[in-house]
């Protein structure tokens, strides 16, 4: 399908003020007090941070917990028998239990990685090299982030396998009939899909995808980097065999990610990296592997980041992940309607979406628009958002993206719209 044949957009909408949705599900002003960085001013104006899909800000509780670890608990884990090492090990494995509980997994099924990208690469290397053979098929979607595309391209090239894609319908939803056509071949080994698109905001029917894939004998990997921060995710209910996400998009630190894998699948997989921690016994010519999940965690782990992620999950639980989901979706809907009032602006993706909007403004390059918004203290992302193939389908080389989280409110959206209108005046001058 040629790029311009499938442009996904939302029509321009003028919504009377009294009919606009209101977002009052969280006490956002109270929440904002917990985020020190949000007190900053940029270019003499209060900061409006609208780039949480790239990375979220961190609450004071997370920063303080990490500082406490490094000041009072820091030691290498698992191997030490002295009290400090035991405290560090308890903190690290306690963090794993918190993360596992948050997604409905068992601790032994919860592997710490550097980020979601590494988690997906772990599967493509450890599981893929063992199970994908010449002529086999890996099914992705047309909206994937490069992190859930390039590892499979590399594997397909190495193993002489094929990549096929679930197509998008004109409204930005996945066409599951195209999935069925791929599954009918009997050659599909894995279906890998984003839970929520980082460009369109589309919330994909992951449970139904998993049901259909499993009926044909295929496994399912879910890239949940944009989902776990915003909605309740239960790996058992989803039926996913693998699920990847990252800490820094959910109020936690950079440098820590998570791979969930069903225990029986992880048990059968070889290690991803070799070295310390991941071994049980080592001889000069051969070794045996450690138990799960340590078999996949070679070397010294990022303990401080793990405890920071656990603290972030504690924060989200205290706020209530269901409240976060309702707030984010409502704010996304408000942004969609407000942006629909801007002449010459086109929003890409469905009306029912997650907490982000990607858009194109007639006569303005996304980078120019983002720079002008920055002068008004508004931080948005501009580019292809690590999803170049999707932008080709949309018929644009780049978009501007505003993404929201629990510390944003209607005033932030209004500032965004005001900033766009100001940018339009400058660009038209």
Cα 72 from Cα 357, distance rounded (Å): 42
Among candidate residues 291, 283, 321, 297, the one with its CA nearest the CA of residue 103? 321
The phi and psi torsions of 132 (rounded to 5 degrees) equal -100, 130
Which structure tokens are listed for 167? 């197509």
Catalytic residue among 47, 54, 254, 386: 386
Cα 95 from Cα 211, distance rounded (Å): 31
Cα 404 from Cα 314, distance rounded (Å): 20
Which structure tokens are listed for 166? 């679930």
Among candidate residues 428, 231, 217, 399, the one with its CA nearest the CA of residue 324? 231
Cα 123 from Cα 135, distance rounded (Å): 19
* Residues facing residue 95 across a β-bridge: none
Give the N- to C-terminal CA distance of the chain in Å, as an integer: 38
E-state strands within 109-206: 110-113, 137-141, 162-166, 188-194
CA 129 to centroid of chain Cα atoms: 25
Gyration radius (Cα) of the chain, Å:
22
Orientation of helix 410-428 relative to helix 366-375, angle to 10°: 110
* Residues facing residue 381 across a β-bridge: 401
Cα 304 from Cα 301, distance rounded (Å): 9
Cα 388 from Cα 74, distance rounded (Å): 41
Annotated catalytic, 10? no
* Residues annotated as part of the active site: 386
């Amino acid at each position: 399908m040629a790029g311009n044949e499938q442009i996904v957009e939302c029509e321009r909408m003028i919504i009377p003020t009294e009919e606009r949705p209101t977002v009052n599900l969280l006490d956002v002003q109270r929440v904002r007090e917990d985020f020190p960085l949000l007190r900053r001013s940029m270019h003499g104006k209060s900061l409006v941070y609208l780039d949480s899909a790239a990375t979220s800000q961190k609450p004071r509780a997370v920063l303080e917990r990490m500082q406490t670890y490094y000041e009072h608990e820091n030691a290498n884990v698992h191997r030490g028998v002295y009290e400090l090492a035991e405290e560090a090990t308890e903190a690290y494995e306690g963090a794993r239990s918190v993360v596992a509980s948050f997604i409905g997994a068992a601790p032994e099924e919860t592997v710490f990685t550097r980020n979601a990208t590494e988690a997906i690469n772990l599967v493509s290397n450890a599981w893929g090299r063992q199970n994908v053979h010449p002529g086999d098929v890996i099914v992705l979607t047309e909206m994937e982030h490069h992190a859930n595309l390039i590892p499979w391209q590399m594997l397909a090239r190495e193993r002489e396998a094929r990549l096929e894609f679930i197509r998008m319908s004109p409204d930005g939803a996945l066409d599951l009939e195209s999935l069925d056509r791929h599954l009918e071949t009997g050659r599909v080994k894995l279906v890998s899909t984003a839970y929520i698109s980082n460009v369109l905001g589309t919330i994909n029917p992951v449970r139904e995808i998993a049901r259909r894939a499993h009926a044909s004998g295929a496994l399912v990997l879910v890239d949940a980097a944009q989902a776990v921060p915003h909605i309740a995710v239960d790996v058992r209910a989803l039926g996913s065999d693998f699920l990847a996400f990252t800490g820094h998009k959910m109020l936690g630190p950079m440098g820590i990610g998570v791979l969930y894998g069903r225990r029986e699948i992880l048990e059968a997989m070889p290690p991803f990296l070799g070295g310390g921690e991941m071994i049980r016994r080592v001889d000069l010519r051969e070794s045996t592997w450690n138990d799960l999940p340590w078999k996949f965690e070679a070397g010294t782990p990022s303990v401080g980041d793990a405890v920071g992620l656990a603290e972030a999950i504690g924060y989200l639980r205290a706020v209530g992940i269901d409240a976060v989901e309702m707030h984010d979706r409502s704010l996304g809907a408000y942004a969609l309607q407000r942006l629909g009032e801007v002449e010459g602006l086109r929003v890409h993706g469905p009306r029912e979406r997650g907490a982000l909007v990607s858009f194109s403004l007639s006569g303005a390059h996304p980078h120019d628009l983002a720079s002008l918004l920055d002068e008004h203290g508004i931080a948005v992302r501009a580019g292809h958002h690590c999803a170049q193939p999707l932008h080709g389908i949309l018929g644009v080389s780049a978009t501007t993206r505003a993404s929201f989280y629990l510390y944003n409110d209607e005033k932030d959206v209004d500032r965004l719209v005001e900033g766009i209108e100001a940018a339009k005046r400058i660009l038209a001058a």
